[in-house]
Structure 1
Amino acid sequence: MFFTYLRRELRRRRKAALVVASGLALGIALVIIVSSVSSGMSKAQDKVLQSLYGLGTDMTVTKAAAAPGSGTERPRFEFDAKDDDDATQSTDRVMVQGFQTLASTTVDKVGKQDGVADAVGGLSLTVMKVDGQFKRGEFKQSPEDGAAAQGGPRGGGSGQPQGEVQGGGASFDVNSFTVYGTDVTQQDLGPLTSSKITKGRTFKATETDAEVAVVDAAYAKEKKLAVDKTVTISGTKYTIVGVSTADSGDAAANVYVPLKQAQTLADSKDKITTVYVKAAGSQAIDTVKAAIQKNITGTTVTTSADLADTVSGSLSTASDLASSVGKWLSIAVLVAAFLVAGLLTSSAVSRRVREFGTLKALGWKSGRVTRQVVGEALVNGLMGGVLGIAVGLAGAYAVTAISPTLTAQLGSSGGGGGMGGGGPMGGGGPGRQTAAKTLDIALTAPVSLTTILTAVALAVAGGLIAGAFGGWRASRLRPADALRRVA
């Protein structure tokens, strides 16, 4: 009887039911779209941070920034004087990014702090290679001297040939690329984890001091490098064992080599530039940061949250809009939809006074009438939920399909230990090198199962709220009022 009456009433009042369902659908669809866009913004920012630190890294430890100008040396290049004009001169210089290093023992000290799950060190280098050749100029005699050579008068009184040196000079090409020394025994942490090996293989744990390398795909394409070929760094040839592709499209370094090899190249034995730290849990990050700063002097700790605060550009602007304006707008629309649904249901009950009064006169209890009204409102809410989910999914798909590419610019954080400056590439580690660049991020609007379940819950809540309005109004009706209207 309940469902029969429910189906009949919804069919008879389908226009009113459609209005209520549409109002709820609008609010639910907006919530889905805003939630999916916010989730996409969060993933985009995570991708930016992952490109700086690597997967699973919660914070980095670097040497505290030195005073401006102290301990900084300019790169010097020396060339030999050669008699052979066609000889190519080539020299390179391997420099530690940021010119500041920590002792390798710092990794063990950090790893012993409470709340640290794992810690690994790395050495970030910049290689500046200069090659080219000097060309001697050619002495060209003046026309007068040519005539004198044929018996004519000389063009000068000094007795020396007159003319000028033409041509000659120097042509040199400067090539700069980055090298990252990774601990091959612990490859689950650090910048290399933000890339996937797409050709060849990664390092073996036994290759702690082997002359092998993994190169970034973009750099390999530019320099025409491939697996089993070699890349030369400061006169040492490294066999390429793998090619990696960065998840974010921007790798932390151009070339990766074992840590000991990087230390040898830079003449920095037992030195590192960065310690990558993974906390035991997200709740322990602030505690671990405080412990490291207190117990290990002369260091700067930068967390993912610190770096996230430096993200600017259109990505940051869109994220702020999605998290503030979008959130409050969706809440306002949802509240308005609930109120409109409740008022429309209550108004519909007012127009059905004679109907409900007659039913009560025939023996229906107030509770049964109330349940009938709540049931109708609940069905309206579920219909609004289905419609809202469909519209929300379509909106999220549209955002993913037509959204423009956003830019993320990363500036230096407050205590980055020279982040954004101090070295040729702008910092003391791979993360800092990337921080000086602008990343292009494609915005997506993923819809999770949690968002769908939230939409269903909102649909049920909207139906119950509307039913509560109408049920309260129906429960107050008296049979005598209905019979009086019938007369």
Structure 2
Amino acid sequence: MFFTYLRRELRRRRKAALVVALGLALGIGLVITVDSVSSGMDQAQGKVLKSLYGLGTDMTVTKAASAASATTRPQFNFNANSSGSSQSSDRVLVQGFQTLASSTATEVGAQPHVAKAVGGLNLQVLKINGTFTQGQFQPGQGSGQGSSQGGPGGGQSPQGQVRGGGAQFDANSYSVYGVDVSDLTLGPLSSSKITSGAGLTAADAKAADAVVDASYAKQNKIAVGSQLTIKGTKFKVVGISTADSGDAAADVYLPLSRAQTLADAKDKITTVYVKASDSQQISAVKSAIQKDVPGTTVTTSADLASTVSGSLSTASSLASNVGRWLSIAVLIAAFLVAGLLTSSAVSRRVREFGTLKALGWKSGRVTRQVMGEALVNGLIGGALGIALGLAGAYAVTAISPTLTAQLGGGGSAPGGGGPGGFGGGARQAAARTVDIALTAPVSVATIVLAVLLALGGGLIAGTFGGWRASRLRPADALRRVE
């Protein structure tokens, strides 16, 4: 009887039911779209941060460079007597930070709630190469009139002069990163994938092997099997890597021990990459490291995220603040409107419910009937809302608007989180700009939330209508009889 009456009433009052369902659908659809866009923002920010510190890294430990080391300039010495011969000189410099002892990684790894910690060495290579050409000495035209000809505009000097000669040199600078090959799941190389050749392995700890970033390889026509000469040492390129998003952390990746040898920095590192055993303990781990490893700067992903600016940051703020509050306001308004419409519909059914009570229906049965109709309206609204929400999320993903994230905000991130900082990127630019295509993924949790909202909207509307229906008396039906 209940379902028969329910089906007939919904069919007879299709327009009213559709209005209530559409009101709920708009609110639920907006919630799904905003939640999906917000998830897309989180994923976009995750890609930006991943391009800096690598997959799985929760924080880094560094030590700021001193003023004296920051002003040190490399010196190059060449032999000017070697006419016509090619000359080259490399200088390998520690980039961005003061060095830490390699044992710092072990010390950090022993802290509570630290799953693992590995070290890395950030270097910059300055390469000068070119040739000197000696000039040719041409003797004077002799004595006698030489003194009269030697003045300004008077031709050649009687003592002769050197003509021609000179020097032509090119300067090249690129970044090198020493990677702890015993664990490649942390650090900057983990944010890149090998697209050609092979990557570094634990067996390459002392090998003269290198992985080159794809952009640098293309610019310098480097392929797998090529050789790079750094400070007189030849390295074989075993693989080409491509950054997952944004710029790569370095142009060339070498085994850590090899990088330390090139920089005359034995048992030295510039960055410790830390993976916490529990994401809820990151703040506690940061405090413990700052206490037990004094003089260092600990930078977490949250610290670095605060330095991300640009349209990505603006859009994320809008989605998190304005968008969510707007969707909540619209959802509340939809619930209230649904409740008022249901209550109004009950008022128009006074004769019907009064007659049913006169026939013996209890107030509870009338209330259950109204609640049932409202729940069905809510489920219909939920289905329509899910469809609207999925359509909105699909539209955002199909358009894929490009958002710009500027990293560093014109300077380095906290604790050196800019170039060479959190993630050890070796770029010297004051800021980096990364373009990210926005998507709007819809999770199962979002769909479940939509269903719960639909049921909640139906219950709220049913509560309004049920309360109104329970107060009707059979005498009310008689007053409406014409």
Number of the residue aligned with 2:479: 484
Number of the residue aligned with 2:269: 272
Question: Which deviates more from structure 2 when the two are superposed, residues 57-66 or residues 339-348?
Answer: 57-66
CA contact (8 A) 1:98 1:428 kept: no
Residue 226 of structure 1 deviates from its aligned partner by 2.1
Residue 174 of structure 1 deviates from its aligned partner by 2.2
Structure 1 419/140 Cα, relative in aligned 2: closer, same or farther at 3 Å? farther
Residue 432 of structure 1 deviates from its aligned partner by 6.5
Structure 2 residue identity aligned to 1:177: Y
Residue 13 of structure 1 deviates from its aligned partner by 1.2
Q: Does 1:47 align with 2:42?
A: no
Number of the residue aligned with 2:446: 451
Structure 1 184/70 Cα, relative in aligned 2: closer, same or farther at 3 Å? closer
- After superposition, residues 69-468 of structure 1 pair within 5 angstroms as 69=68, 72-85=71-84, 87-135=85-133, 156-158=148-150, 161=156, 169-411=166-408, 416-420=414-418, 430-431=424-425, 433=427, 436-468=431-463
Unaligned runs of 5+ in 2: none
Instruction: Supply the distance in 1 between the matched residues of 2:162 and 2:381 (Cα, whole angstroms).
Output: 88
Aligned partner of residue 430 in structure 1, secondary structure: coil
CA contact (8 A) 1:407 1:441 kept: yes
Structure 2 residue identity aligned to 1:478: R
Instruction: Supply the distance in 2 between the matched residues of 1:309 and 1:371 (Cα, whole angstroms).
Output: 52
CA contact (8 A) 2:367 2:470 kept: yes
CA contact (8 A) 1:400 1:443 kept: yes
Aligned partner of residue 225 in structure 2, secondary structure: coil
Residue 166 of structure 1 deviates from its aligned partner by 7.6
Aligned partner of residue 218 in structure 1, secondary structure: helix
Residue 160 of structure 1 deviates from its aligned partner by 6.4
Aligned partner of residue 34 in structure 1, secondary structure: helix
Aligned partner of residue 81 in structure 1, secondary structure: coil
CA contact (8 A) 1:65 1:417 kept: no
Aligned partner of residue 204 in structure 2, secondary structure: coil
Structure 1 residue identity aligned to 2:175: T
Structure 1 428/445 Cα, relative in aligned 2: closer, same or farther at 3 Å? closer
Instruction: Supply the distance in 2 between the matched residues of 1:118 and 1:431 (Cα, whole angstroms).
Output: 20
Residue 77 of structure 1 deviates from its aligned partner by 2.2
CA contact (8 A) 1:116 1:279 kept: yes
Aligned residues: 473
Post-superposition CA distance 1:40-59 (Å, at most 9, x none): 11111111111111111111
Instruction: Supply the distance in 2 between the matched residues of 1:8 and 1:428 (Cα, whole angstroms).
Output: 65
Post-superposition CA distance 1:434-457 (Å, at most 9, x none): 883111111111111111111111
Number of the residue aligned with 1:15: 15
Residue 73 of structure 1 deviates from its aligned partner by 0.9
CA contact (8 A) 1:346 1:469 kept: yes
Residue 403 of structure 1 deviates from its aligned partner by 4.1
Residue 414 of structure 1 deviates from its aligned partner by 8.9
Question: Which deviates more from structure 2 when the two are superposed, residues 379-388 or residues 199-208?
Answer: 199-208
Structure 1 23/166 Cα, relative in aligned 2: closer, same or farther at 3 Å? farther
Instruction: Supply the distance in 1 between the matched residues of 2:433 and 2:346 (Cα, whole angstroms).
Output: 60
Structure 1 71/219 Cα, relative in aligned 2: closer, same or farther at 3 Å? closer
Instruction: Supply the distance in 1 between the matched residues of 2:156 and 2:47 (Cα, whole angstroms).
Output: 70
Q: Which runs of 4+ in 1 moved over 6 A?
A: 137-141, 162-167, 412-415
Instruction: Supply the distance in 2 between the matched residues of 1:96 and 1:48 (Cα, whole angstroms).
Output: 25
Structure 1 392/429 Cα, relative in aligned 2: closer, same or farther at 3 Å? closer
Structure 1 480/134 Cα, relative in aligned 2: closer, same or farther at 3 Å? same
Structure 1 164/376 Cα, relative in aligned 2: closer, same or farther at 3 Å? farther
Aligned partner of residue 407 in structure 1, secondary structure: strand
Structure 2 residue identity aligned to 1:396: A
Structure 1 83/181 Cα, relative in aligned 2: closer, same or farther at 3 Å? closer
Instruction: Supply the distance in 2 between the matched residues of 1:386 and 1:244 (Cα, whole angstroms).
Output: 46
Structure 2 residue identity aligned to 1:78: N
Residue 207 of structure 1 deviates from its aligned partner by 1.6
**What is the percent sequence identity of the aligned residues?**
71
Number of the residue aligned with 2:470: 475
Post-superposition CA distance 1:98-126 (Å, at most 9, x none): 25100011111111111111010111111
CA contact (8 A) 2:80 2:132 kept: no
Residue 169 of structure 1 deviates from its aligned partner by 4.5
Unaligned runs of 5+ in 1: none
CA contact (8 A) 1:361 1:479 kept: yes
CA contact (8 A) 1:213 1:241 kept: yes
Post-superposition CA distance 1:301-320 (Å, at most 9, x none): 11111111111111111111
Post-superposition CA distance 1:150-172 (Å, at most 9, x none): xxx99953496369988765443
Question: Which deviates more from structure 2 when the two are superposed, residues 342-351 or residues 126-135?
Answer: 126-135
